[in-house]
Structure 1
Amino acid sequence: MNISNFEHVFYALLIQVIVWLPTRNWWAGAMLAVGLFIGREHAQRELNIGGASKLSPWEAFDVWNWSVDAQLDLFLPIAAVVLLAWIVGYLSRRASLL
């Protein structure tokens, strides 16, 4: 792990909070952050392989051939935003039952 993994988690959570402020929907923010990080890591993989014109349609999505750092750059932010949305949803449902 390196600092970029933690930076990606921070930015994903920041995106989630920014979307939550006007919408009051944690899942909308989570999905935006997930989409941005999937797109970002896909583009990085395309560049590492040699450009989009040299790829088969799904070659850059072969996550198992990515470096461990690239895998963590993708999966840690996704886990963080999904976990936060799930926890907040769980707590709000539990609070409404009381």
Structure 2
Amino acid sequence: MLLYALLAIGIFLMTRQMYFGGLDRDRNQHHLASLLCAVAASQPGHDRKEISTHLAAIARNGVERKLRLTHAVRLARGNVPPDLHPLIQALAKEL
């Protein structure tokens, strides 16, 4: 039984890594992360509607929308100042 549980966990982690690995190379995903950063930093010319429009164009359903937002927050985490990251997280939760 333990062996089956470990096998299931291994398959889950492999599948997750393959999917997130694909998202890491997706230009649309990086654009989503930069839009989140721009709106959270209140840069002129960017608003939440732009994020929603872009997300609607690249995500097929609600699950993929949430996954892409979560991954975009993760991408942005290493590229923004520490005080901006909570704003990006809050923005992603609102969307």
TM range (shorter): 0.3 to 0.5
Q: What is the TM-score when the length of structure 1 is the normalising length?
A: 0.38
Counting helix residues as a fraction of each chain, which structure ranks higher?
1
The higher relative CO (CA closer than 8 Å, separation ≥ 6) is in 1
Q: What is the TM-score when the length of structure 2 is the normalising length?
A: 0.39
